[in-house]
Amino acid sequence: MMPQIRIGTRASPLAVWQAEHVRDALYAAHPGIQVEIIRMTTSGDILLDAPLHSLGGKGLFVKEIEEALLSEHVDVAVHSMKDVPALQPEGLEIAAIMAREDVRDAFVSNSVVHPEQLKPGARVGSSSLRRRAQLLQLYPHLQVDDLRGNVATRLRKLDEGQYEAIILAVAGLKRLQLGERISMALPVEQSLPAVGQGAVGIEIRSEDTQTRALLQALIDPATQQCVWAERSMNRILGGDCRLPVAALAEWQGQAMHLRGLVASPDGAHLLRAEASGIDPVALGQVVAEQLLAQGAAAIIKEIQS
Ligand SMILES: NCc1[nH]cc(CCC(=O)O)c1CC(=O)O
């Protein structure tokens, strides 16, 4: 009998794009396979008005889909790796990470093309402490305000004039064919991306060896190793996606180069570390330890309190 796979996803357009991307890759790798996409509304999608970091973080978007996976209503859950907490619940694991899109953050504005051109006090929308801290460090005269909702909602709030500019992920905009809205892709030296940004990951029940085998063909080994290195760093630093923590691993020849960052939300303190290596877990540890040696724990504790 032809294998059958049920994909669980959030119902947002970006999440559905990702689920369809996985479905299409499964069709291509396993001709004749049957794939069904099951859309779910999560409490993260419903509670759109409260600031994300006060709601238990992005784990909210993932938790209910994981419950559907554990109760065998679906066979795989597709996620933006950026939204996946550092540790998976007992019995679940990330079985495949696909090739990465552009990792950068996008500066989007209808009035200027570069953040340098914004006037003092100009309102920039972002709910990410990571984006906020890095933007404020370079441009302390800006006013960064909360901005929530899916990509289309955020663009609408910009277009309505609630903000002079907003920051989004390049990957999400490109996937939704909204790449022309990008005024400027921010260099990673100015806005180091979130752990896992731009990568799609697929979660399964650990015991499900059949699905695991089918997903092997979808793995992009280079991306997967990089995301593991970033996640290894993040796990040691507390693994909480509400924190202003950034990381980016990239292959340079035979080794990965990992850059990590921990910031205070006001951008006043910005710790950076980097290292190269071939073992993702060890590389993440090295960079995390360098950040801790510079005082990262105090910054993290301050935010968590
Ligand atoms: N938190 C929402 C979210 N999760 C993943 C992406 C973008 C796509 C990606 O990074 O893979 C976005 C939107 C955004 O940050 O603009």
Out of 8-12, 157-161, 239-243, give the one with best mean pLDDT.
157-161
Return the ligand 1 atom nearest residue 197 CA: 10
State pLDDT tens for residues 273-285. 999 999 999 999 9
What is the arithmetic mean of pLDDT over 236-260?
Answer: 92
Q: Residue 294: inside a domain, yes or no?
A: yes
CATH number at residue 256: 3.30.160.40
Cβ(131) – ligand 1 distance below 6 Å? no
Q: Which of 178, 132, 149, 154 is nearest to 61 (CA)?
A: 149
Residue pair 102/170 in contact by the 8 Å Cβ criterion: yes
Q: Residue 227: inside a domain, yes or no?
A: no
What is the arithmetic mean of pLDDT over 217-246?
Answer: 93
Cβ(125) – ligand 1 distance below 6 Å? no
In this structure, the answer to whether residues 9 and 95 fall within a common structural domain is yes
Q: Residue 17: inside a domain, yes or no?
A: yes
In this structure, the answer to whether residues 30 and 173 fall within a common structural domain is no
State pLDDT tens for residues 83-130. 999 999 999 999 999 999 999 999 999 999 999 999 999 999 998 999
Cβ(44) – ligand 1 distance below 6 Å? no
Asked if pLDDT for residue 241 goes beyond 90, the answer is no
Question: In the 8-state DSSP scheme, what is residue 100?
Answer: P
Cβ(299) – ligand 1 distance below 6 Å? no
What is the arithmetic mean of pLDDT over 15-36?
Answer: 97
In this structure, the answer to whether residues 257 and 211 fall within a common structural domain is no
Cα(86)–Cα(54) distance, rounded to whole angstroms?
18
- Looking at the chain, the whole-number percentage of residues with pLDDT higher than 90 is 84
Cα(205)–Cα(214) distance, rounded to whole angstroms?
13
Query: How many angstroms does the Cα of residue 247 sit away from the middle of ligand 1?
Result: 15
Distances in whole angstroms, Cα of residue 127 to Cα of each of 37, 106, 109, 214: 29, 14, 16, 37
**Domain tally, the chain:** 3
Q: Which range (73-77, 139-143, 263-267) has the least confidence? A: 263-267
ipTM value: 0.95
In this structure, the answer to whether residues 129 and 250 fall within a common structural domain is no
State pLDDT tens for residues 26-77. 999 999 999 999 999 866 665 555 554 444 555 667 888 999 999 999 999 9
What amino acid occupies position 288?
A
In this structure, the answer to whether residues 142 and 263 fall within a common structural domain is no
Confidence of residue 305 (pLDDT cuts 50, 70, 90): confident
In this structure, the answer to whether residues 242 and 180 fall within a common structural domain is no
Q: Residue 226: inside a domain, yes or no?
A: no
- Predicted local confidence at residue 248, as pLDDT: 98
Cβ(182) – ligand 1 distance below 6 Å? no
In this structure, the answer to whether residues 112 and 92 fall within a common structural domain is no
Catalytic residue ranges: 83
Q: Residue 275: inside a domain, yes or no?
A: yes
Cβ(82) – ligand 1 distance below 6 Å? yes
Q: Residue 299: inside a domain, yes or no?
A: yes
What is the arithmetic mean of pLDDT over 144-160?
Answer: 96
Cα(48)–Cα(51) distance, rounded to whole angstroms?
8
In this structure, the answer to whether residues 28 and 142 fall within a common structural domain is no
Ligand 1 atom 9: residue of nearest CA: 198
Q: Residue 44: inside a domain, yes or no?
A: yes
Return the ligand 1 atom nearest residue 175 CA: 8
Which of 9, 10, 12, 14 most suits a substitution to test ligand 1, by most atoms within 8 Å of the C-beta?
Answer: 14
CATH number at residue 151: 3.40.190.10
In this structure, the answer to whether residues 72 and 206 fall within a common structural domain is yes
Domain that holds residue 300: 235-304
Q: Which of 149, 197, 148, 158 is nearest to 175 (CA)?
A: 197
Cα(56)–Cα(156) distance, rounded to whole angstroms?
26
- Looking at the chain, the whole-number percentage of residues with pLDDT higher than 70 is 93
In this structure, the answer to whether residues 85 and 22 fall within a common structural domain is yes
Q: Residue 136: inside a domain, yes or no?
A: yes
Query: How many angstroms does the Cα of residue 159 sit away from the middle of ligand 1?
Result: 19
In this structure, the answer to whether residues 128 and 161 fall within a common structural domain is yes
Average pLDDT, the chain: 93
DSSP per-residue codes, 3-24: -EEEEEEESSHHHHHHHHHHHH
In this structure, the answer to whether residues 177 and 140 fall within a common structural domain is yes
Asked if pLDDT for residue 294 goes beyond 80, the answer is yes
Which of 61, 178, 197 most suits a substitution to test ligand 1, by most atoms within 8 Å of the C-beta?
Answer: 197
